[in-house]
Amino acid sequence: MKFIQPRLPYTPDALEPVISQTTIDYHYGKHEKAYIDTLNSLIENTEYDNMSLEDIILNSDGKLFNNAAQAWNHICYFFQFAPNGQKVPGGRLMEKIEEQFGSFEDFQKAFVEAGATLFGSGWVWLATDTSGQLCILQKHNAGTPLTDGLKPLLVFDVWEHAYYLDYQNRRAEYLNKLWDIINWQVIDDRYNQ
């Protein structure tokens, strides 16, 4: 199976000023494309050739895992944004956030803190277990909650290429600005699946 980079559900300039068109062009247009192209070359004529992306992540390691997980992580990241999306979680997810973190604002602070304090490159995730309990995870490099048996809901990319063109070394500022473009309908849908 050949993986194809999905088309973004918004124009490259739609997330400005939070994420610039220049960053979208490089981050999604070049970085994500390279992960998918490399993944396709690595699985050709192997046992992974007909696996889903999730199955490749769960059954591989090394270079193959890194490219598969980075391809998947970036899709999860870019497809949770919208210039005019739902600004706060709804229903069950909001109730669970308030139950576990005290308030939506306290959750946001904890999430940004996890991203700002992750040493090096990686991802900060909101994930849920099979009972619906939420957790915030710091994952280095290509790490994903999938490998922990958790369902990923929300993710902020803390690799420098995600924010350096727009924010230089101001990672916390970038993380705080991302709340303006999260489409919580996408996150609610992930939680309720």
What's the pLDDT score for residue 41?
Answer: 97
Domain with CATH 1.10.287.990 in the chain: 21-78
pLDDT of 114 strictly over 70: yes
The yes-or-no verdict on residue 85 having pLDDT over 90 is no
Q: Is residue 162 scored above 80 in pLDDT?
A: yes
**Domain 91-192 adopts which CATH fold?**
minor pseudopilin epsh fold (3.55.40)
What would the CATH number be for the domain defined by 21-78? 1.10.287.990
Extract the tokens encoding 3.
Answer: 């993986």
CA distance linking residue 6 with residue 14, whole number of Å: 17
Q: What is the mean pLDDT of residues 34-38?
A: 97
Phi, psi of 6 (to 5 degrees): -70, 150
Mean of pLDDT over the chain: 96
Find the mean pLDDT for residues 156-165. 95
Q: What average pLDDT does this structure show over 24-50?
A: 96
Residues paired with residue 156 on neighbouring β-strands, in sequence order: 124
Which band of pLDDT confidence, cut at 50, 70 and 90, is reported for residue 170? very high
List the beta strands (DSSP E) in the chain.
Answer: 122-128, 134-140, 151-157
pLDDT at 1: 67
Distances in Å between the alpha carbon of 63 and those of 119, 123, 134, 183, 188?
22, 18, 30, 32, 32
Residues 17-44, mean pLDDT to the nearest whole number = 97
Predicted TM-score (pTM) of the model is 0.95
Domain with CATH 3.55.40.20 in the chain: 91-192
